[in-house]
Amino acid sequence: MAGNQTIAIEKLPLVKAVPAIFTINGSGAGQGAILNQDGTVNSASNPAARGSVISLWMTGAGNMSTIVLSGSIGPLSPPFPTPALDVSAWINEIQASLTFAGQAPGLVAGIIQVNLQIPLNSTTGSAVPIWVDVGDFVGPPVTLAIN
């Protein structure tokens, strides 16, 4: 294309949030980018225990409680900006208890860290579905290994 040309005009929807958990392979599907309670990477060969606290990283949480400038680096100590909309996490249809959901410390704006406890009655397996909702917006599921 040379110069400034209009190819097509399209209206795009504007929504408050589009949550999505980062994945190990970067495709948005498969094994989530999740750390077990001991700080090791969650995987089929290194599953998390029921009742343990895991950390995942996501994007698309929408507006934050305090203004976070695009491209800025998140604070290294509290208070951390938190999503303006409610955040919930689900493991195979069971709601998990969140211990933290906010700007990932020391990472670029827009990367949200979510710490949650795996429910004691959670399904076990090498590819258990996990997803995050922000407000009324449901993120696509990725997988988590639980023993």
Of 126, 118, 130, the closest CA to residue 50 belongs to 118
> Quick one: how far is CA 66 from the chain centroid?
19
Q: What is the mean pLDDT of the chain?
A: 95
CATH number assigned to the domain with residue range 20-146, chosen from the 4 options 2.60.40, 1.10.1200, 3.40.640, 3.30.70:
2.60.40
CA atoms within 13 A on the CB side of 112: 29
Q: Across-strand partners of 96?
A: 89
Q: What confidence tens digit (pLDDT) does each residue in 39-91 have?
A: 999 999 999 999 999 999 999 999 999 988 888 999 999 999 999 999 999 99
Residue, of 29 and 3, whose pLDDT is higher: 29
Both tokens of 63, joined, read 């507006």
Spell out the domain ranges in the chain.
20-146
pTM: 0.90
